Structure 1
Amino acid sequence: MTKPTFDLQSHSLHSDGVLAPAEVVANAAAAGVQLLALSDHDTVDGVGEAIAAGARHGVAIVPSTEISAVDGSYEDLHVLGYGIDHRDPALAERLRAARADRELRAERMAQKLNELGFAVDDAPLAARRAAGKPIGRPHLAQAVLIHPDNAERLEREGHDDVSSFIPAYLIPGTPGYLARTHPTVFEAIDWIHEAGGLAIWAHPFWDIDADAEVLGAIDRFAAAGLDGVEVFYPTHDAAQTKLLADRCAALGLLTTGSSDYHGPEHRLFRTFLAHELHGYAPDLSKLEQAAARAAEAAA
Structure 2
Amino acid sequence: MTKPTFDLQSHSLHSDGVLPAADVVARAAEAGVELLALSDHDTIDGVDEAIAAGVRHGVAVVPSTEISSVDGRYEDLHVLGYGIDHHDPVLAERLLSARADRELRAERMAAKLNELGFEVDDAPLAKRRAAGKPLGRPHLAEAVLIHPANAERLAEEGHDDISSFIPAYLIPGTPGYLARTHPTVFEAIGWIHDAGGLAIWAHPYWDLDSDEEVLGALDRFKAAGLDGVEAFYPTHSAEQTRLVVDKARELGLLTTGSSDYHGPEHRLFRTFLAHELHGAEPDLTPLHEAAARAAAAATAGS
Fold shared per TM-score above 0.5 = yes
Q: Which amino acid aligns with 1:278?
A: H
2:269 counterpart SS class: coil
1:126 shift after superposition: 0.8
Query: 2-side partners of 1:210 and 1:72: how far apart?
Result: 16
Deviations 1:199-233 (A, max 9, x none): 00000000000100100000000011000000000
Matched, 1:209 2:209: yes
1:113 shift after superposition: 0.4
Deviations 1:127-156 (A, max 9, x none): 111111111100000000000000000000
Matched, 1:71 2:71: yes
Query: 2-side partners of 1:283 and 1:158: how far apart?
Result: 44
Q: Which amino acid aligns with 2:149?
A: D
Counterpart for residue 23 of structure 1: 23
**CA-atom RMSD, angstroms?**
0.6
Matched, 1:243 2:256: no
1:235 shift after superposition: 0.2
Query: 1-side partners of 2:260 and 2:208: how far apart?
Result: 17
Counterpart for residue 194 of structure 1: 194
Q: How do 1:90-101 residues align onto structure 2 when only pairs under 5 Å count?
A: 90-101=90-101
Query: 2-side partners of 1:125 and 1:111: how far apart?
Result: 13
Q: How do 1:109-128 residues align onto structure 2 when only pairs under 5 Å count?
A: 109-128=109-128
Report the TM-score when normalising by structure 1: 0.99
Q: Which amino acid aligns with 1:116?
A: L
1:174 shift after superposition: 0.4
Query: 1-side partners of 2:14 and 2:136: how far apart?
Result: 11
1:65 shift after superposition: 0.1
Query: 2-side partners of 1:123 and 1:180: how far apart?
Result: 24
Deviations 1:138-178 (A, max 9, x none): 00000000000000000000000000000000000000000
Counterpart for residue 256 of structure 2: 256
Query: 2-side partners of 1:251 and 1:208: how far apart?
Result: 19
Counterpart for residue 280 of structure 2: 280
2:189 counterpart SS class: helix
Counterpart for residue 82 of structure 1: 82
Flag as ranges the 4+ runs of structure 1 deviating above 4 A: none
Matched, 1:144 2:144: yes
1:51 shift after superposition: 0.2
Q: How do 1:167-182 residues align onto structure 2 when only pairs under 5 Å count?
A: 167-182=167-182
Report the TM-score when normalising by structure 2: 0.98
Identity %: 83
Deviations 1:97-150 (A, max 9, x none): 000010000000000000000000111111111111111100000000000000
Deviations 1:68-115 (A, max 9, x none): 000000000000000000000000000000000100000000000000
1:15 counterpart SS class: coil
Query: 2-side partners of 1:128 and 1:194: how far apart?
Result: 28
Query: 2-side partners of 1:57 and 1:266: how far apart?
Result: 24
Q: Which amino acid aligns with 2:101?
A: D
Query: 2-side partners of 1:68 and 1:127: how far apart?
Result: 21
1:297 shift after superposition: 1.1
1:84 counterpart SS class: coil
Query: 2-side partners of 1:113 and 1:12: how far apart?
Result: 27
Counterpart for residue 51 of structure 2: 51
Deviations 1:31-60 (A, max 9, x none): 000000000000000000000000000000
Query: 2-side partners of 1:293 and 1:121: how far apart?
Result: 43
Q: Which amino acid aligns with 2:140?
A: L
Query: 1-side partners of 2:20 and 2:134: how far apart?
Result: 15
